[in-house]
Amino acid sequence: MRLAHAICQAATLPDPIPSGDCAVLIQLDFGNAGFAERLDEFRLLAASAGTTVAAVVSGKRSRPDAATYAGKGKVVEIAEAVRLHNANVVIFNHELSPGQQRNLERELQCRVVDRTSLILDIFAQRARSHDGKLQVELAQLQHLATRLVRGWTHLERQKGGIGLRGPGEKQLETDRRLLGKRVALLKNKLKQFERQRAVRRRARTRSEVLAVSLVGYTNAGKSTLFNALTKAGAYAADKLFATLDTTSRRLFIEGAGQIVISDTVGFIRDLPHELVAAFHATLEETAQADLLLHVVDSASPDRDQQMAAVDAVLKSIGASDVPQIIVWNKIDASAAAAGVTLDEHGKIARVRVSAKTGAGLDLLRDALAGMAREKANT
Protein backbone atom coordinates (compact mmCIF):
# COMPACT_ATOMS: atom_id res chain seq x y z
CA MET A 1 0.00 0.00 0.00
CA ARG A 2 1.13 3.51 -0.69
CA LEU A 3 1.42 4.76 2.87
CA ALA A 4 5.01 6.02 3.04
CA HIS A 5 3.89 9.19 4.77
CA ALA A 6 0.92 7.76 6.64
CA ILE A 7 2.45 7.61 10.11
CA CYS A 8 5.77 9.40 10.03
CA GLN A 9 8.23 10.44 7.39
CA ALA A 10 10.81 7.87 8.49
CA ALA A 11 8.50 4.84 8.43
CA THR A 12 7.24 2.97 5.39
CA LEU A 13 4.61 0.26 5.58
CA PRO A 14 5.29 -2.78 3.40
CA ASP A 15 3.03 -3.34 0.40
CA PRO A 16 0.67 -6.26 1.13
CA ILE A 17 0.82 -7.33 -2.51
CA PRO A 18 3.92 -6.00 -4.26
CA SER A 19 3.48 -5.93 -8.02
CA GLY A 20 4.62 -9.11 -9.76
CA ASP A 21 4.47 -11.32 -6.67
CA CYS A 22 3.63 -15.02 -6.95
CA ALA A 23 0.39 -15.82 -5.12
CA VAL A 24 -1.58 -18.84 -3.96
CA LEU A 25 -5.31 -18.07 -3.89
CA ILE A 26 -7.62 -19.57 -1.27
CA GLN A 27 -11.39 -19.82 -1.61
CA LEU A 28 -13.43 -22.10 0.64
CA ASP A 29 -16.92 -23.34 -0.14
CA PHE A 30 -19.39 -22.88 2.72
CA GLY A 31 -22.36 -23.99 0.63
CA ASN A 32 -23.27 -20.57 -0.79
CA ALA A 33 -24.49 -20.24 -4.37
CA GLY A 34 -22.25 -18.95 -7.14
CA PHE A 35 -18.97 -20.51 -6.00
CA ALA A 36 -17.54 -20.73 -9.55
CA GLU A 37 -18.48 -17.13 -10.39
CA ARG A 38 -16.94 -15.88 -7.15
CA LEU A 39 -13.74 -17.77 -7.92
CA ASP A 40 -13.55 -16.23 -11.41
CA GLU A 41 -14.02 -12.78 -9.87
CA PHE A 42 -11.35 -13.57 -7.27
CA ARG A 43 -8.86 -14.47 -10.00
CA LEU A 44 -9.58 -11.17 -11.74
CA LEU A 45 -9.17 -9.27 -8.47
CA ALA A 46 -5.76 -10.85 -7.91
CA ALA A 47 -4.71 -10.10 -11.48
CA SER A 48 -5.91 -6.50 -11.09
CA ALA A 49 -3.61 -6.17 -8.08
CA GLY A 50 -0.65 -7.15 -10.27
CA THR A 51 0.00 -10.65 -8.91
CA THR A 52 0.84 -13.83 -10.77
CA VAL A 53 -1.53 -16.60 -9.70
CA ALA A 54 0.52 -19.78 -9.17
CA ALA A 55 -2.20 -22.00 -7.69
CA VAL A 56 -5.72 -22.03 -6.30
CA VAL A 57 -6.59 -24.03 -3.19
CA SER A 58 -10.24 -24.66 -2.41
CA GLY A 59 -12.27 -26.97 -0.22
CA LYS A 60 -15.59 -27.39 1.54
CA ARG A 61 -16.25 -26.49 5.15
CA SER A 62 -19.36 -26.05 7.24
CA ARG A 63 -17.90 -23.03 9.03
CA PRO A 64 -14.60 -21.14 9.30
CA ASP A 65 -11.97 -22.46 11.71
CA ALA A 66 -11.55 -20.08 14.64
CA ALA A 67 -7.75 -20.22 14.62
CA THR A 68 -6.78 -20.40 10.95
CA TYR A 69 -10.07 -19.99 9.06
CA ALA A 70 -9.14 -22.93 6.78
CA GLY A 71 -8.45 -25.64 9.37
CA LYS A 72 -5.25 -27.57 10.12
CA GLY A 73 -5.43 -30.01 7.19
CA LYS A 74 -6.11 -27.30 4.64
CA VAL A 75 -3.29 -25.15 6.04
CA VAL A 76 -0.90 -28.05 5.41
CA GLU A 77 -2.17 -28.22 1.82
CA ILE A 78 -1.72 -24.47 1.40
CA ALA A 79 1.82 -24.67 2.81
CA GLU A 80 2.67 -27.39 0.28
CA ALA A 81 1.37 -25.22 -2.58
CA VAL A 82 3.44 -22.28 -1.30
CA ARG A 83 6.56 -24.46 -1.20
CA LEU A 84 5.91 -26.11 -4.57
CA HIS A 85 5.40 -22.84 -6.43
CA ASN A 86 7.83 -20.76 -4.37
CA ALA A 87 4.97 -18.33 -3.68
CA ASN A 88 5.54 -15.36 -1.41
CA VAL A 89 1.95 -14.31 -0.72
CA VAL A 90 -1.27 -16.19 0.11
CA ILE A 91 -4.52 -14.39 -0.64
CA PHE A 92 -7.85 -15.43 0.92
CA ASN A 93 -11.12 -14.53 -0.77
CA HIS A 94 -12.55 -14.12 2.72
CA GLU A 95 -12.23 -11.63 5.55
CA LEU A 96 -9.78 -12.84 8.16
CA SER A 97 -9.60 -11.74 11.76
CA PRO A 98 -6.26 -10.30 12.96
CA GLY A 99 -5.66 -13.48 14.98
CA GLN A 100 -6.36 -15.77 12.02
CA GLN A 101 -4.06 -13.74 9.81
CA ARG A 102 -1.29 -13.83 12.42
CA ASN A 103 -1.65 -17.61 12.92
CA LEU A 104 -1.63 -18.27 9.17
CA GLU A 105 1.51 -16.23 8.63
CA ARG A 106 3.21 -18.13 11.44
CA GLU A 107 2.25 -21.48 9.89
CA LEU A 108 2.89 -20.59 6.25
CA GLN A 109 5.96 -18.41 6.77
CA CYS A 110 4.82 -15.91 4.15
CA ARG A 111 2.59 -12.87 3.84
CA VAL A 112 -1.16 -13.53 4.14
CA VAL A 113 -3.68 -11.10 2.68
CA ASP A 114 -7.46 -11.21 3.02
CA ARG A 115 -10.16 -9.98 0.62
CA THR A 116 -10.50 -6.59 2.30
CA SER A 117 -6.77 -5.86 2.09
CA LEU A 118 -6.72 -7.02 -1.53
CA ILE A 119 -9.49 -4.61 -2.54
CA LEU A 120 -7.90 -1.77 -0.57
CA ASP A 121 -4.61 -2.40 -2.39
CA ILE A 122 -6.30 -2.23 -5.80
CA PHE A 123 -7.99 1.02 -4.80
CA ALA A 124 -4.61 2.42 -3.75
CA GLN A 125 -3.21 1.61 -7.19
CA ARG A 126 -6.16 3.14 -9.06
CA ALA A 127 -6.73 6.41 -7.17
CA ARG A 128 -5.58 9.42 -9.19
CA SER A 129 -7.21 12.55 -7.76
CA HIS A 130 -6.03 14.10 -4.50
CA ASP A 131 -9.29 13.45 -2.65
CA GLY A 132 -9.45 9.92 -4.07
CA LYS A 133 -6.00 9.17 -2.66
CA LEU A 134 -7.00 10.62 0.71
CA GLN A 135 -10.13 8.46 0.81
CA VAL A 136 -8.17 5.31 0.04
CA GLU A 137 -5.51 6.12 2.63
CA LEU A 138 -8.18 6.72 5.26
CA ALA A 139 -9.77 3.34 4.48
CA GLN A 140 -6.36 1.64 4.66
CA LEU A 141 -5.51 3.18 8.02
CA GLN A 142 -8.89 2.33 9.52
CA HIS A 143 -8.42 -1.27 8.41
CA LEU A 144 -4.84 -1.36 9.72
CA ALA A 145 -6.00 -0.07 13.09
CA THR A 146 -7.49 -3.49 13.81
CA ARG A 147 -4.18 -5.15 13.01
CA LEU A 148 -1.69 -3.04 14.96
CA VAL A 149 -0.87 -5.88 17.29
CA ARG A 150 0.03 -8.11 14.33
CA GLY A 151 2.53 -6.25 12.25
CA TRP A 152 3.34 -2.69 13.18
CA THR A 153 7.03 -2.95 14.10
CA HIS A 154 8.31 -0.22 11.83
CA LEU A 155 8.60 2.34 14.62
CA GLU A 156 10.61 0.10 16.91
CA ARG A 157 13.75 1.39 15.22
CA GLN A 158 13.05 4.75 16.85
CA LYS A 159 14.37 3.34 20.18
CA GLY A 160 12.30 5.67 22.29
CA GLY A 161 11.68 8.19 19.56
CA ILE A 162 12.72 11.56 21.05
CA GLY A 163 9.82 13.89 20.53
CA LEU A 164 7.72 10.98 19.36
CA ARG A 165 6.79 8.88 22.37
CA GLY A 166 5.17 10.10 25.55
CA PRO A 167 6.61 9.16 28.95
CA GLY A 168 5.89 5.55 29.83
CA GLU A 169 4.06 4.98 26.55
CA LYS A 170 4.33 1.52 25.04
CA GLN A 171 5.06 0.92 21.36
CA LEU A 172 1.52 -0.16 20.56
CA GLU A 173 0.12 2.93 22.28
CA THR A 174 2.48 5.11 20.26
CA ASP A 175 1.38 3.51 17.02
CA ARG A 176 -2.27 3.97 17.89
CA ARG A 177 -1.76 7.60 18.86
CA LEU A 178 0.08 8.40 15.62
CA LEU A 179 -2.51 6.51 13.63
CA GLY A 180 -5.31 8.44 15.31
CA LYS A 181 -3.68 11.76 14.46
CA ARG A 182 -3.32 10.84 10.80
CA VAL A 183 -6.92 9.58 10.59
CA ALA A 184 -8.21 12.82 12.14
CA LEU A 185 -6.17 14.88 9.67
CA LEU A 186 -7.51 12.91 6.70
CA LYS A 187 -11.10 13.25 7.90
CA ASN A 188 -10.71 17.02 8.21
CA LYS A 189 -9.31 17.28 4.68
CA LEU A 190 -12.09 15.13 3.28
CA LYS A 191 -14.69 17.32 4.99
CA GLN A 192 -13.32 20.25 3.00
CA PHE A 193 -13.81 18.33 -0.25
CA GLU A 194 -17.31 17.39 0.88
CA ARG A 195 -18.20 21.06 1.39
CA GLN A 196 -16.89 21.87 -2.10
CA ARG A 197 -19.05 19.12 -3.60
CA ALA A 198 -22.09 20.44 -1.74
CA VAL A 199 -21.53 23.88 -3.30
CA ARG A 200 -21.36 22.33 -6.79
CA ARG A 201 -24.53 20.31 -6.15
CA ARG A 202 -26.43 23.44 -5.08
CA ALA A 203 -25.30 25.19 -8.26
CA ARG A 204 -26.60 22.30 -10.38
CA THR A 205 -29.90 22.33 -8.50
CA ARG A 206 -30.36 26.04 -9.14
CA SER A 207 -29.68 25.56 -12.84
CA GLU A 208 -32.30 22.77 -12.98
CA VAL A 209 -29.94 20.57 -15.00
CA LEU A 210 -30.68 16.84 -14.83
CA ALA A 211 -27.94 15.11 -12.80
CA VAL A 212 -27.31 11.50 -13.90
CA SER A 213 -24.92 9.05 -12.21
CA LEU A 214 -23.66 5.81 -13.74
CA VAL A 215 -23.60 3.04 -11.15
CA GLY A 216 -23.02 -0.67 -11.41
CA TYR A 217 -20.85 -3.63 -10.58
CA THR A 218 -17.18 -3.20 -11.29
CA ASN A 219 -16.23 -4.02 -14.89
CA ALA A 220 -19.85 -3.76 -16.08
CA GLY A 221 -18.79 -1.20 -18.71
CA LYS A 222 -19.68 2.10 -17.01
CA SER A 223 -16.63 4.01 -18.25
CA THR A 224 -17.03 2.64 -21.78
CA LEU A 225 -20.66 3.81 -21.75
CA PHE A 226 -19.62 7.18 -20.29
CA ASN A 227 -17.10 7.66 -23.10
CA ALA A 228 -19.60 6.55 -25.75
CA LEU A 229 -22.14 9.12 -24.54
CA THR A 230 -19.82 12.06 -23.78
CA LYS A 231 -16.66 11.43 -25.87
CA ALA A 232 -14.80 12.22 -22.62
CA GLY A 233 -11.94 9.76 -23.09
CA ALA A 234 -12.14 8.52 -19.48
CA TYR A 235 -9.92 5.55 -18.66
CA ALA A 236 -11.65 2.26 -19.39
CA ALA A 237 -10.11 -1.20 -19.19
CA ASP A 238 -11.15 -4.83 -18.80
CA LYS A 239 -10.12 -4.94 -15.16
CA LEU A 240 -11.78 -4.47 -11.81
CA PHE A 241 -11.96 -0.94 -10.39
CA ALA A 242 -10.49 0.70 -13.49
CA THR A 243 -12.31 3.86 -12.39
CA LEU A 244 -12.14 5.26 -8.85
CA ASP A 245 -12.36 9.00 -9.25
CA THR A 246 -15.72 10.49 -10.18
CA THR A 247 -15.70 12.21 -13.57
CA SER A 248 -18.54 14.50 -14.64
CA ARG A 249 -19.33 15.94 -18.07
CA ARG A 250 -22.09 18.00 -19.58
CA LEU A 251 -23.96 16.19 -22.32
CA PHE A 252 -26.27 17.77 -24.89
CA ILE A 253 -29.40 15.70 -25.51
CA GLU A 254 -31.44 16.48 -28.60
CA GLY A 255 -34.83 17.85 -27.59
CA ALA A 256 -33.89 18.28 -23.93
CA GLY A 257 -30.75 20.42 -23.74
CA GLN A 258 -27.87 19.93 -21.35
CA ILE A 259 -27.59 17.31 -18.62
CA VAL A 260 -24.72 16.42 -16.28
CA ILE A 261 -23.60 12.79 -16.30
CA SER A 262 -21.09 11.31 -13.83
CA ASP A 263 -19.01 8.15 -13.98
CA THR A 264 -18.53 6.70 -10.49
CA VAL A 265 -16.57 3.95 -8.76
CA GLY A 266 -17.80 0.43 -9.42
CA PHE A 267 -19.26 -1.68 -6.64
CA ILE A 268 -18.48 -5.26 -5.69
CA ARG A 269 -20.04 -7.81 -3.37
CA ASP A 270 -18.77 -7.66 0.21
CA LEU A 271 -17.34 -4.18 -0.38
CA PRO A 272 -15.17 -3.40 2.66
CA HIS A 273 -17.10 -1.20 5.06
CA GLU A 274 -13.97 0.94 5.52
CA LEU A 275 -14.18 1.87 1.84
CA VAL A 276 -17.88 2.67 2.00
CA ALA A 277 -17.22 4.94 4.99
CA ALA A 278 -14.15 6.62 3.47
CA PHE A 279 -15.83 7.15 0.10
CA HIS A 280 -19.02 8.47 1.70
CA ALA A 281 -18.54 11.98 0.29
CA THR A 282 -17.97 10.62 -3.23
CA LEU A 283 -20.84 8.16 -3.00
CA GLU A 284 -23.08 10.93 -1.74
CA GLU A 285 -22.95 12.32 -5.29
CA THR A 286 -24.87 9.20 -6.29
CA ALA A 287 -27.48 9.69 -3.58
CA GLN A 288 -28.04 13.31 -4.71
CA ALA A 289 -28.49 12.44 -8.41
CA ASP A 290 -31.83 12.85 -10.18
CA LEU A 291 -31.40 9.56 -12.04
CA LEU A 292 -29.20 6.48 -11.77
CA LEU A 293 -28.20 4.50 -14.83
CA HIS A 294 -27.58 1.05 -13.34
CA VAL A 295 -25.17 -0.52 -15.83
CA VAL A 296 -25.31 -4.34 -15.90
CA ASP A 297 -23.04 -6.79 -17.70
CA SER A 298 -25.80 -8.74 -19.45
CA ALA A 299 -23.32 -11.39 -20.59
CA SER A 300 -22.29 -12.30 -17.04
CA PRO A 301 -23.87 -15.49 -15.62
CA ASP A 302 -23.60 -13.82 -12.21
CA ARG A 303 -25.51 -10.68 -13.22
CA ASP A 304 -28.45 -11.16 -10.82
CA GLN A 305 -26.13 -11.43 -7.81
CA GLN A 306 -24.13 -8.46 -9.09
CA MET A 307 -27.27 -6.33 -9.37
CA ALA A 308 -28.27 -7.33 -5.83
CA ALA A 309 -24.81 -6.32 -4.56
CA VAL A 310 -25.13 -2.89 -6.22
CA ASP A 311 -28.61 -2.37 -4.78
CA ALA A 312 -27.29 -3.26 -1.31
CA VAL A 313 -24.57 -0.59 -1.54
CA LEU A 314 -27.06 1.96 -2.87
CA LYS A 315 -29.30 1.25 0.12
CA SER A 316 -26.38 1.68 2.53
CA ILE A 317 -25.57 5.16 1.15
CA GLY A 318 -29.19 6.33 1.06
CA ALA A 319 -29.58 6.13 -2.72
CA SER A 320 -32.13 3.31 -2.97
CA ASP A 321 -35.00 5.75 -3.64
CA VAL A 322 -33.29 7.54 -6.53
CA PRO A 323 -35.05 6.67 -9.82
CA GLN A 324 -33.19 4.04 -11.86
CA ILE A 325 -33.01 2.91 -15.45
CA ILE A 326 -31.33 -0.47 -15.93
CA VAL A 327 -28.81 -0.32 -18.77
CA TRP A 328 -28.49 -3.91 -20.06
CA ASN A 329 -24.95 -3.51 -21.44
CA LYS A 330 -22.72 -5.79 -23.57
CA ILE A 331 -25.53 -7.11 -25.76
CA ASP A 332 -22.83 -7.70 -28.38
CA ALA A 333 -21.56 -10.50 -26.12
CA SER A 334 -24.97 -11.85 -25.07
CA ALA A 335 -26.58 -11.87 -28.55
CA ALA A 336 -29.52 -9.73 -27.37
CA ALA A 337 -31.15 -7.09 -29.55
CA ALA A 338 -31.16 -3.40 -28.75
CA GLY A 339 -34.46 -2.29 -27.28
CA VAL A 340 -36.37 -0.99 -24.28
CA THR A 341 -38.56 -2.53 -21.60
CA LEU A 342 -41.35 -0.52 -20.02
CA ASP A 343 -42.62 -0.81 -16.44
CA GLU A 344 -46.26 -1.11 -15.39
CA HIS A 345 -46.64 2.69 -15.62
CA GLY A 346 -45.38 2.84 -19.18
CA LYS A 347 -42.01 4.35 -18.25
CA ILE A 348 -38.69 3.04 -19.52
CA ALA A 349 -37.29 0.60 -16.97
CA ARG A 350 -34.54 -1.08 -19.02
CA VAL A 351 -32.55 -0.23 -22.13
CA ARG A 352 -30.53 -2.90 -23.95
CA VAL A 353 -27.32 -1.45 -25.38
CA SER A 354 -23.74 -2.15 -26.35
CA ALA A 355 -21.46 0.64 -25.22
CA LYS A 356 -18.72 -1.01 -27.28
CA THR A 357 -20.55 -1.01 -30.64
CA GLY A 358 -23.00 1.84 -29.99
CA ALA A 359 -26.09 -0.32 -30.51
CA GLY A 360 -29.08 1.02 -28.57
CA LEU A 361 -27.41 4.26 -27.45
CA ASP A 362 -30.00 6.30 -29.37
CA LEU A 363 -32.69 4.62 -27.25
CA LEU A 364 -30.79 5.50 -24.08
CA ARG A 365 -30.47 9.13 -25.19
CA ASP A 366 -34.23 9.22 -25.80
CA ALA A 367 -34.80 7.91 -22.26
CA LEU A 368 -32.50 10.59 -20.84
CA ALA A 369 -34.30 13.26 -22.87
CA GLY A 370 -37.62 12.15 -21.41
CA MET A 371 -36.27 12.34 -17.86
CA ALA A 372 -34.76 15.79 -18.52
CA ARG A 373 -38.06 17.13 -19.86
CA GLU A 374 -39.89 15.64 -16.89
CA LYS A 375 -37.51 17.40 -14.46
CA ALA A 376 -37.88 20.72 -16.34
CA ASN A 377 -41.67 20.52 -16.03
CA THR A 378 -41.72 19.83 -12.28
Q: Does 129 show up as a binding residue in the annotation? A: no
| Distance set, CA 184 to CA 134, 137, 155, 178, 265 (Å) | 12, 12, 20, 10, 24
Q: Does 347 show up as a binding residue in the annotation? A: no
Q: Does 355 show up as a binding residue in the annotation? A: yes
Q: Does 69 show up as a binding residue in the annotation? A: no
Q: Does 264 show up as a binding residue in the annotation? A: yes
Q: Does 217 show up as a binding residue in the annotation? A: yes
Q: Does 175 show up as a binding residue in the annotation? A: no
Q: Does 58 show up as a binding residue in the annotation? A: no
Q: Does 378 show up as a binding residue in the annotation? A: no
Please say whether the beta carbons of 256 and 369 come within 8 A. Answer: yes
Please say whether the beta carbons of 110 and 90 come within 8 A. Answer: yes
Q: Does 117 show up as a binding residue in the annotation? A: no
Q: Does 336 show up as a binding residue in the annotation? A: no
Q: Does 354 show up as a binding residue in the annotation? A: yes
Complete edge-to-edge strand list for the sheet that includes strand 324-329: 247-253, 257-263, 210-216, 291-297, 324-329, 348-352, 339-342
Q: Does 332 show up as a binding residue in the annotation? A: yes
Q: Does 366 show up as a binding residue in the annotation? A: no
Q: Does 242 show up as a binding residue in the annotation? A: yes
| Plot region of 347 (φ>0 → left; ψ -120 to 50 → alpha; else → beta) | beta
List, in sequence order, every beta strand (DSSP E) within the chain.
22-29, 52-60, 89-92, 111-113, 210-216, 247-253, 257-263, 291-297, 324-329, 339-342, 348-352
List, in sequence order, every beta strand (DSSP E) within 94-203.
111-113
- Residue list for the binding site for Mg(2+): 223, 243
Annotated binding site for GTP: 216-223, 241-245, 263-266, 329-332, 354-356
Residue positions forming the annotated binding site: 216-223, 241-245, 263-266, 329-332, 354-356
